[in-house]
Structure 1
């Protein structure tokens, strides 16, 4: 087998690709598919859109992929992902970057108590 290309992909994209190539249904394949399905937070298309938006704002591809995989729901959850970014100042860009992530968060569920 020859590696043709290396590319950072999200869990959602891996799930989509794995679903296409996995022909055998052995135990290991089932575990991999279960993991990918369980931890996919967005569709493959939406996760790639999020990665591309974050990269256009100066976030590195590996960090953008990690953010898309985790989908932090608060600024405080987003900040650790940006701590090692050297191309941007995390504190200055935090609001702008979180507004990008926020567009991809699922809508908040209505409170049971009203």
Structure 2
């Protein structure tokens, strides 16, 4: 069993500013060209549970977490998250606030 993948034999210059070189057989694509943004809104008076996304621990049910600050108490008008969805906190994405909903 290999612990590390075999290095690529050919590299090319990258168009992005954080990788100088990438494997020659890789294509560079924007995230929005790979994934679809799903914005299914929860209807009023629904039975969904409110979720929170944290950079350190991922998606959690709001009722499991400490209640501090001015927090929503209903999911009316919130986006619906389904099993298998990738969730990104739009204000905290730069610090890694994203998770995979299982």
1 or 2 for the larger relative contact order (CA 8 Å, sep ≥6)?
1
The higher radius of gyration belongs to 2
- The TM-score normalised by the length of structure 2 is 0.21
More strand by share: 2
